[in-house]
Amino acid sequence: MLQISTVIPVFNEEESLPELTHWISRVMNDHGFSYEIILVNDGSTDSSWEVIGELSKKNGNIKGLNFTRNYGKSAALDAGFSQAKGKVVVTLDADLQDSPDEIPALYQMIVEEGFDVVSGWKKERHDPISKTIPSRFFNGVTRWISGIKLHDFNCGLKAYKLKVVKNIQIYGEMHRYIPLLAKWNGYTKIGEKVVQHQARKYGYSKFGLERFLNGFLDLISVSFVHRYKKKPMHFFGLLGTISFISGFVITVWLIAQKIYSIREGVKVREVVDQPVFFLALVALIVGVQLFVTGFIAELMTSNQSKETEYKIDEQINCSE
């Protein structure tokens, strides 16, 4: 069995790939590791795929997957995880900002210390303040919501036991929350290691400030999906019931008030002339709609099938 699989999403990184793969190979050989390097070309518009092909001819440990278009980092990691065969799976970014020299220590934490997941922590970052401050805020909120005491959820340098990556499904932009997905699947021994952060050597960052907003939306999404994926009626049914009962009680109260006024000879406005009646009517309708939504979601959940969201065009040294 291979000892280490490295999974690396690639998007327009033609300049860094030769140096990165050589660096990884040197570290592996120096420590006597059996290894594979899985490069997932996520719809690059430069010559990254051609470079991967040339590198694989020189080093049989290099494998390549080529997407038909850009699907995002989560899809690239999911595809790489499906191919990984190493006892420990390590992920790195392709821009040389993650140091392969950290791999042996990460491997040791997984194999010898028994961690399920080890996340890198770029304690000293070579990024502008426009990225570091939002990142700290984002990580603080994520840490509070998830209950996982990590300082850097978005660090691309992480290590996993093979069984962890084989038992989680990454989709959308959920790559930031792989430790959280692992925890929810029962892999609770999650560690952290301070890692070196390299200054970018080639190209430019592919991520803008919008990733932090997307990150919060993804956190809400992944939390909701985890809690209600298998029981959507518990969410929609509860809201629908509250809305329906509220509308029903208000309607009954208005009608009872009208009946009482007729008996006592007190003049009050007609039921349909009161704004609160229409609010009650809306609450009744919304309650029924939410309940039906929950019922339909239950039917969809019971009949759902797992399908990958990405399409692979070509492969190099990979199994079908």
Residues 285 and 265 reside in one and the same domain: yes
- CATH number of the domain that residue 155 is part of: 3.90.550.10
Give the pLDDT mean for 227-233. Answer: 71
pTM above 0.85, yes or no: no
Query: Which is more confident, 280 or 49?
Result: 49
Q: Is pLDDT above 50 for 104?
A: yes
318 found inside a domain: no
Query: In this structure, are residues 9 and 80 in contact, taking their beta carbons and an 8 Å threshold?
Result: yes
Within this chain, do residues 99 and 28 fall inside the same structural domain, yes or no? Answer: yes
Encoded tokens for 14: 């033609």
Q: What is the pLDDT of residues 143-201, one digit of tens each?
A: 887 788 888 888 889 999 999 999 988 877 778 888 988 988 889 999 999 998 776 66
* Listed residues 208, 228, 248: the one ending a domain: 228
Q: Domain total for the chain?
A: 2
Residue 31 has pLDDT above 80, yes or no: yes
Does one domain contain both 202 and 289?
no
- Say if residue 119 is in the same domain as residue 28: yes
206 and 120 inside one domain: yes
The answer to whether residue 181 sits within a structural domain is: yes
Same domain, 190 and 259: no
Handedness of CA 10, 12, 26, 113 (dihedral sign): negative
Averaged pLDDT for residues 226-254: 82
- What is the residue range of 246's domain? 232-302
DSSP bridge partners of 121: 194
Looking at the fold, whether 117 and 138 belong to one and the same domain comes out as yes
Q: Where are the alpha helices (DSSP H) in the chain?
A: 17-30, 48-58, 73-83, 103-111, 129-146, 162-166, 178-184, 210-228, 232-264, 275-302
Residue 193 neighbours by CB distance under 10 Å: 18
At 126-144, the pLDDT tens digits run 555 556 666 777 777 778 8
Length, in residues, of the chain = 320
Q: Is residue 317 in some structural domain?
A: no
Exposure class string for 161-178: b at 16+ Cβ within 10 A, else e: bbebbeebebeebbbbbb
d(CA 138, CA 123): 15
Residue 38, token pair as written in the block:
């899985």
Residue 316 is assigned to a structural domain of this protein: no
- DSSP label of 101: G
Q: Do 175 and 119 share a domain, yes or no?
A: yes
Boundary of a domain, candidates 209, 228, 247: 228
Same-domain status, 149 and 255: no
Whether residues 170 and 284 share a domain: the answer is no
Cβ contact 158:120 at 8 Å: yes
Give which of 168, 172, 166, 245 is closest to 215, Cα–Cα. Answer: 172
Domain termination residue (choose one: 228, 257, 280) = 228
Furthest C-alpha separation in the chain = 98
Whether 263 and 194 map to the same domain: the answer is no
- Reply yes or no on whether the pLDDT at 219 is more than 90: no
In a domain, 311, yes or no: no
Radius of gyration from C-alpha coordinates of the chain: 26
Rounded Cα gap, residues 116 and 114, in angstroms: 7
Q: How confident is the model at residue 305 (pLDDT cuts 50, 70, 90)?
A: very low
Q: Is there a domain that residue 134 lies in?
A: yes
Residue 313 lies in a domain: no
Segment among 106-115, 222-231, 261-270 with least mean pLDDT: 222-231
3-state SS, residue 66: strand
Query: Domain check: are 69 and 117 in the same one?
Result: yes
Asked if the structure places residue 287 within a domain, the reply is: yes
Residue pair 158/193 in contact by the 8 Å Cβ criterion = no
Cβ partners under 8 Å of residue 246, min gap 6: 280, 283, 287
